[in-house]
Structure 1
């Protein structure tokens, strides 16, 4: 009743068979994504360390570097010296956002160690001092 298909599918690859190019599993893709988020968080943490040195930030940077190295197969992350020109409050907000992204990816790949670290960093950056708002003027009356 139906005639067989005589042409190649439009869904085949230009390279030929599907095995001609590398594929990554979902877990490998999540590892790459999580390592990227944690490396970005490490960069912001290093900037904060340059502006406001603290033992907590030093410990966090070491732990973040260890997680990035673990996810990248033992290769340590590149770390650059910070220019330290940014506003600490803006850096804390950026770090909080990055930690949240890392937490989402860590949770989706069921990486408990990375999820705990990301949650701790979210708490730490969420509790960071906020910028002082404009002062109210008192009316002389």
Structure 2
């Protein structure tokens, strides 16, 4: 009545069976995730540097690029030159985005026990929180 299955199953259900696709360890997955968060933070930092160049942002960008390269096995992160878009980006929105990205990076760095990345992420969170507080004071005074 039913024809028997002639091909091997694509799902491995037997214990101890080896599969044909590679698996990553938890540490490798966390490295990939952390590198992604730090690379996104680097992109926002580069946008902020284009708006208002500062030595602090330059140093932060270099440290972020170093951490991303370390996590990616020495490959340097892609960094595009920021060009003027249709409208002027809002620095407060960029600082909020950078603060959120640094927070995500801090959580992943803490879970993988990466002290250097955790310290860098915490410092960037503090810097962006201070920048947001400074902008609130300026808008309240003006």
TM-score, normalised relative to structure 2: 0.81
What is the aligned counterpart of 1:120 among 120, 123, 128? 123
Residues paired across the two proteins, number: 125
Is the Cα contact below 8 Å between 2:12 and 2:19 reproduced in 1? Answer: no
**Cα shift at 1:9:** 8.7
Deviation per CA, 1:47-102, whole angstroms, max 9, x where unpaired? 00000100000000000000000000000000011135311111000000000000
Aligned to 1:23: 23
TM-score, normalised relative to structure 1: 0.82
Long gaps (5+) in structure 1: 1-7, 136-141
Is 1:81 the counterpart of 2:81 in the alignment? yes
More helix by share: 2
Aligned to 2:104: 101
**Cα shift at 1:123:** 0.1
Aligned to 1:59: 59
Distance 1:102 1:10 in 2: 36
Is 1:130 the counterpart of 2:115 in the alignment? no
Runs of 4+ in 1 over 3 A off after TM superposition: 8-11
Q: What root-mean-square deviation, in Å, do the aligned CA atoms of Structure 1 and Structure 2 show?
A: 2.1
Aligned to 1:3: none
Superposition map of 1:41-56 within 5 A: 41-56=41-56
Distance 1:98 1:77 in 2: 16
Distance 2:18 2:106 in 1: 33
1:52 and 1:12, CA in 2 relative to 1: closer, same or farther beyond 3 A? same
